[in-house]
Structure 1
Amino acid sequence: MPDDLTKTGKADRDKVNVNQSHELRDWSKKLGVTEDQLKKAVKEVGVYADDVKKHLKK
């Protein structure tokens, strides 16, 4: 089922979805990395935002 962009909540804020262009753009900007760096981080540690943030700080 596709995401309903009108319904956001904690579950959406806790995960990084690099398959949606607006989320990829927004998370990249928020974390101060390129879209490619973000995709690589998600591939390495998974979609949970806390894990991605920790990984990118290394």
Structure 2
Amino acid sequence: MSDDKDLRGPADASRISLSEPYEVEYWTKTLGVSRDALAKAVVEVGNSAEAVRAYVQRSAH
């Protein structure tokens, strides 16, 4: 099965892929962060959506 680029959300909602622009757009909007902040979070804690969400929340305080 090929990737459907018309999808607005991630193919695997438990992981964040920085290589797919539509996923980056989804996660930046969902988490309320910039692309740079999202990328930094992924570098710091890995691509687990749960870990990135927690990191973003901690960083906001």
TM-score range, shorter chain: 0.7 to 0.9
Provide the residue aligned with 1:54 in structure 2.
54
Cα root mean square deviation, aligned: 2.0
Q: Which has the higher contact order (CA 8 A, sep 6+)?
A: 1
- TM-score calculated relative to the size of structure 1: 0.81
Percent sequence identity over aligned pairs: 35
CA distance in 2, matches of 1:43, 1:4: 27
- Structure 2, gaps ≥5 residues long: 5-10
Provide the residue aligned with 1:5 in structure 2.
3
Deviation at 1:4, TM superposition (A): 3.1
| AA of the residue aligned to 1:19 | S
Provide the residue aligned with 1:36 in structure 2.
36
